[in-house]
Structure 1
Amino acid sequence: MESPQSFVEEINITEIEFYEVVGKGAFGVVSRGKWRDKDVAVKNIETESERKAFITELKQLSRVSHPNIVKLYGACTQHPVCLVMEYAEGGSLYNVLHGTQYQPQYTAAHAMSWALQCARGVEYLHGMSPKALIHRDLKPPNLLLIMGGTVLKICDFGTACDIQTHMTNNKGSAAWMAPEVFEGSNYSEKCDVFSWGIILWEVITRRKPFDEIGGPAFRIMWAVHQGKRPPLIKNLPKPLELLMTRSWSSNPVERPSMTEIVRIMSHLFQFFEGAEKPLSYKENHDHSDASKIF
């Protein structure tokens, strides 16, 4: 098998100027840095067990090129081991939705745009050849924002797998995870569609999915296994509600493909204006009922 290093540029660690730590991914610590006059995110591998996820992410990211997927510039494969990627100055979508520091205002157009951009990135992954890629851990912490919050990029490919692998080990995060993944059944790319449906609900309501359940992750998994889903949203246009509920159907076969989601979302998105406006960080606004954005 070809080694993953052959796909990507080998970067000399001494060329990178490191700044502050900005987060932690599925593996490793992520720092902001400068490399050849570019702002970069550098993901450092800390333990031997993280090497496996590193090799996966390196292999998968080196295959992809799409405006809604984080760009990989290269890697340091000698000690210390790290990935060098584009830096997303807007942080994660999760922090924009639920962060404690800033609470930017956003509109229904922004919510629709984020969901559509996420769907486009995943559609690209699912359409890859010779083997489709399943992300398996789609959730707002793995969706990064740039350009004032208007452009979304999917990141964290440490759990991605080739579609043929049909892995049954339990990857991902409980609130966004399709039931067939944690039930240990064989699963397909439709597990990403389930996660997308939950994300759509989350960007519209600005609430954390299944937050009311609390406790350990298995309580959410048990509820989802029994058919529990986030509550329906008041005043949500019917075509959007139907797309959302089909996406999180218990039966993967009933879920739409990402191509169908992109087609429907692109059509609906025409009716929303202002998605290109940067997010507003005004003080003292109330978004306690985010469903009012529709």
Structure 2
Amino acid sequence: MVFEDIQYDDILFEAAVGRGTFGVVFKAVWRGKDVAIKTIESDAERNAFLVELRQLSRVSHPNIVKLYGSCDDPVCLVMEYAECGSLYNLLHSADPLPHYTAAHAMSWCLQCADGVAYLHNMKPKALIHRDLKPPNLLLVARGTVLKICDFGTACDIQTYMTNNKGSAAWMAPEVFEGSNYSEKCDVFSWSIILWEVITRRKPFEEIGGSAFCIMWAVHRGTRPPLIKDLPEPIETLMTRCWDKEPSQRPSMSEVRDTMGSLMKYFPGSDEPLNLPHQSSSSNRSGSSSATSTGSCADETIHSNRSDDAKHRSASGGEETLQNTENRIPLQPRTPKARWAAVSRTSSLESQSSAHFSSSVNTCSQSELRMTISPTGTEGSESPVPSVYLKLDHQLQPLAPCPNSHESMMVFEQHIRMAQDYLRVQSEIAHLLNRKEELMAELEQEQKEQQTSSRLIQEHNKLLEDNSSLSAVCQDLRSRLSLIQSQNQPYS
């Protein structure tokens, strides 16, 4: 892709509109067209800037944001401007939340898969994005075209990194576990995005707490709840992609091809969305969208969904696709029968039943409650078991508000984590004791080896002395015989 060295004076800045992996993003005009200017605020951000400049200069794909050029003084990137903002804002933060169909949701995920598959198949060096999430997926053309942005964390596929980039809700477990990881981490992130655009819910929002709570849950096998009435081929693809083992996940090329075959059941993805504050006649209508809105993390932006949009069915916490104001309207554009039509696709069903398996491994609330003792210390009623009250004050689970379901969920999670903490501490103590025993045995063995070595040396010395004495004795005997022969009288 050809890009230019752009003169800073040729850029007409309009407004700051967001943040990316580094720096502030501005809307501006360059050569008569809207552009996004990504700047850096400190020398510490220069590395991320150089990464994004290097990676974007290599790519050219309709589903990846374009890089027009860069400025040297001051340092900044001049990029394609996305007038419709990020997918995250459309899903959760727009006011009012716009309607979209299942066709739009499937199309966005297909376009994302197409762009990532392109990155993974680049020659001579492929790329891993490492930070796929809706804040880094931009929309243009009235919300019908998706573009991937924010390459500040991208790396060559040959480089197996161990640092924790990305955002917790979409991050593959091998990334935050510190393991070596490959391009399959992008496949995991894609599956969470698929779940998010279908349900229009933030992934793992029911867990609450810090990013560590989400990472801990994902590490233990927790995944978003399965979606009621979702066609089996889509569910199978989704669960394959978030498999714990990266080797069991499909390649992004396979994901793209599967999604492409399913899109024939979802016509209408090219119908423009009715977006708030978005003019149909001009792309320069005062939109406040940005090339990247990476600061819109899952823990800081809250959508105003209705209560029934948060409803889950009782069977395993599965999410129901409802025709609510803030959900994907399945009627009349995408009737529920169309989901069933996809499920009846014989080739995909046979493939899924023969080769695919779900890796969802969630803990039910009843299982969590079984770990809670109702009696605290000194016979007083307390939801916190006495064993946990002996922990360090900062590690003790706080008593929940009994009238708050969310508080109880957090409390139960803390109890579970405290259990694991005590178990790990017990294992550590056991291993330390075993280590001391082995060290004592090793020390005793070394002493015995030293004693044996000393005895062997002494034995060898005695053997040498014996040999020397034997030689002296033999010499003396020879001399004695000679003397005796000389002293005999001549016969």
TM-score tier after normalising by the smaller chain length: over 0.9
Give the C-alpha shift of residue 236 in structure 1.
0.5
Higher RCO by CA contacts (8 Å cutoff, separation 6 or greater): 1
Output aligned runs, 1:1-294, within 5 Å.
8-78=3-73, 80-281=74-275, 286-288=324-326, 290=328, 292=330
Instruction: Give the match's secondary structure for 2:182.
Output: coil
**C-alpha distance in 2 between matches for 1:288 and 1:53:** 36
- Which structure has greater strand proportion? 1
Could you give the per-residue CA deviations for residues 248-279 of structure 1, whole angstroms, max 9, x where no partner exists?
00000000001100110000011101100011
Amino acid at match of 1:59: R
Unaligned runs of 5+ in 1: 1-6
Runs of 4+ in 1 over 6 A off after TM superposition: none
- How many residues end up aligned between the 2 structures? 287
The separation in 1 between residues aligned to 2:43 and 2:99, in whole angstroms, is 42
Partner SS state of residue 18, structure 2: strand
State the Cα deviation string for residues 68-90 of structure 1 (Å, max 9, x = none).
Answer: 00000000122x11000010000
Unaligned runs of 5+ in 2: 277-305, 307-322, 337-491
Q: Distance in 1 between matches of 2:209 and 2:11?
A: 41
For residues 91 and 229 of structure 2, the distance between their equivalents in structure 1, rounded to whole angstroms, comes to: 20
The 1-side partners of 2:98 and 2:326 are apart by 13
Read off the aligned partner of 1:138 and give its amino acid letter.
L
Shift of 1:215: 1.2
What is the identity percentage for the equivalent residue pairs of Structure 1 and Structure 2?
A: 68
Q: TM-score, normalised by structure 2?
A: 0.57
- Report the secondary structure of 2:53's partner residue: helix
Hey, what's the Cα distance between the residues in 1 that align with 2:96 and 2:35?
23
Q: Quick check: 1:233–1:291 contact (8 Å CA) kept in 2?
A: no
Q: Is the 8 A contact 2:102 2:328 kept in 1?
A: no
Q: Supply the distance in 2 between the matched residues of 1:109 and 1:286 (Cα, whole angstroms).
A: 17
Please identify which structure carries the higher helix content: 2
Superposition CA RMSD, Å:
1.7
Q: Is the 8 A contact 2:63 2:148 kept in 1?
A: yes
Q: Please give the alpha-carbon distance, in whole angstroms, between the structure 2 residues aligned to 1:281 and 1:57.
A: 29
- Report the CA distance between 1:100 and its aligned residue: 4.2
Q: What is the TM-score when the length of structure 1 is the normalising length?
A: 0.94
One-letter amino acid of the structure 1 residue matched with residue 107 of structure 2: S
Question: Aligned partners of 2:66 and 2:266: how far apart in 1?
Answer: 28
